[in-house]
Amino acid sequence: MNNLVIKLKEANLTGRGGAGFPVALKWESVINALGEKKYVICNASEGEPNVFKDGFILENYPEEVINGIVLAMETINASEAYLYLNPNYYDQFEENFKKIIKQRPIKLFKKPHYYIAGEETVICNLIEGKKMEPRQRPPFISTVGLFGCPTLMNNVETFYYVSKINKGEYKQTRFYSLNGQVKNPGVYELPENLSILEILKQTGNFPDFEFFVQVGGGAVGEILLSEELDGQAKGAGSITVYEKEKTDFYKIMENWADFFLEGNCDKCTPCREGIYRLKQMVKEKNIDLSEMEPIFENLEKASFCALGRGAAAPFRGLIKKILK
């Protein structure tokens, strides 16, 4: 087995885009896939509200990211790579990355502003000049990806840590985006096994008011009460603090619905119509779980891609835990 893959395996590195898939496994499947040409894509589409740690890494550690991409290209034997950037990051960092990349075969690609454009099969479609729609899986992109070739796609933070692991500098940390009603908002690099409670405390952000948090993304993230903070921050590693008294719960839910409706591809019925109906109910403050639960179930079980499947949880969490 390749040295770096062994190191990744020993480090137990998991993907930092949100799904938390073991990185070594993903790399192995691309290494084992047959194909004349292989691609590496660095996903820097970071498009969910309240998540900004990839932007922080792109700004502060661009060399590490490119180094991670180069290592991946060498390891899976890819002749080309793409750095797929959300439009803001593209505009901000394009020049700097071009300087770092130099003549290497790493191309920058500007993502459209839609959230769905960050989904891995959509990314392949868009780079190929096709429609902004997810593809049916299987086949997975590790075997049939960009231009039909085996493709390795990881998140910015993952490539950053690949570089660190290769240098022996990895200390089991990850990046957290702290935000909401906190005193010290920002991006923090802290141990990955730290509890949410400890993160809030260590960053001086533990509130002195009644609160709840959304963890792992400002839209698909999980809703947790102040007594539920012993677990770790999963997903995209964001922690958003809401002051219970001052929060308009309906407004939060409407914002989620708007975000999903604006960001989805409108291809499948549950995501396009189900979320629209949720939005209508929230707007009318007509919260009836017996009406909503079938839509949640439909989103979770019948949606085409992960966007729709993940869209129900925050609504259910907020309604069940907070609105009751």
Partner 1 sequence: MSKEIKIKINGIEYSGETGETILKVARRNSIKIPTLCEHSDLEPKASCRLCLVAIEGRKGLFTSCSTLIEEGMEIKTDSEEINRLRKKNLELLFAQHIERCNFCVREFNCQFLKLAKEYGIDVKKYEDRKIGYPKFKFGPSICFDSSKCIDCRNCLEVCEKQGVGFLDLENNNSFLEIVPSKNPKRDCVYCGQCVIHCPTGAFMEIDSVAEVESVLVDKDKYVVFQIAPSIRTTLGEEFGLPYGTDVTGKIFAGLRKIGAKKAFDVSVAADVTTIEEAEELIERLTQKKNLPMFTSCCPAWVKYVEFYAPEFISNLTTVRSPQMILGGLSKTYFAKNDGIDPQKIIVVSIMPCTAKKYEITRPELEIEGLRPIDYVLTSRELARIFKKNKIDLSLLESEKGDTPWDEPTGAGIIYGASGGVTESALRTAIFKLTNGQKLEQVEFKNLRGMKETKEAVIEINNIKIKVAIVNGLGNAKEILKIIKQDPNRYDYIEVMACPGGCIGGGGQPLPTTQEIRELRAQGLYNIDEIKNNRLADESPIIKKIYQEFLINQEIRHKICHTHYLIKQKENNF
109 or 276: whose CB is closer to partner 1? 276
74 or 262: whose CB is closer to partner 1? 262
Rounded to a whole number of angstroms, the minimum distance from the CB of residue 130 to partner 1 is 11
Say which amino acid occupies 149: C
189 or 254: whose CB is closer to partner 1? 254
Handedness of CA 208, 198, 178, 223 (dihedral sign): negative
CA distance 24 to 193: 19
Options 262, 283, 286, 320; binder of partner 1; rule CB under 8 A: 262
Contact between 303 and partner 1 per CB under 8 A? yes
Contact between 273 and partner 1 per CB under 8 A? yes
Rounded to a whole number of angstroms, the minimum distance from the CB of residue 90 to partner 1 is 20
Rounded to a whole number of angstroms, the minimum distance from the CB of residue 263 to partner 1 is 9
Cα 228 to the center of its chain, rounded Å: 22
Options 276, 306, 321, 322; binder of partner 1; rule CB under 8 A: 276
Contact between 274 and partner 1 per CB under 8 A? yes
Options 80, 189, 198, 266; binder of partner 1; rule CB under 8 A: 266
Handedness of CA 111, 125, 255, 58 (dihedral sign): negative
Instruction: Using alpha carbons, select from 179, 181, 187, 184 the residue that is nearest to residue 218.
Output: 179
Contact between 294 and partner 1 per CB under 8 A? yes
CA distance 321 to 222: 11
CB-neighbour burial class of residue 206 (10 A; exposed 0-12, middle 13-18, buried 19+)? middle
- Whole-angstrom CA distances from 266 to 8, 276, 301, 307 are 37, 11, 17, 11
Contact between 82 and partner 1 per CB under 8 A? no
Contact between 316 and partner 1 per CB under 8 A? no
CB-neighbour burial class of residue 88 (10 A; exposed 0-12, middle 13-18, buried 19+)? middle
Rounded to a whole number of angstroms, the minimum distance from the CB of residue 277 to partner 1 is 6
233 or 265: whose CB is closer to partner 1? 265
Contacting range for partner 1; rule: CB under 8 A; set: 34-42, 52-60, 159-167, 289-297: 289-297
42 or 265: whose CB is closer to partner 1? 265
Q: Note the residues at the interface with partner 1 (CB under 8 A).
A: 131, 136, 258, 261-262, 265-270, 272-274, 276-277, 280, 294-295, 297-298, 301-304
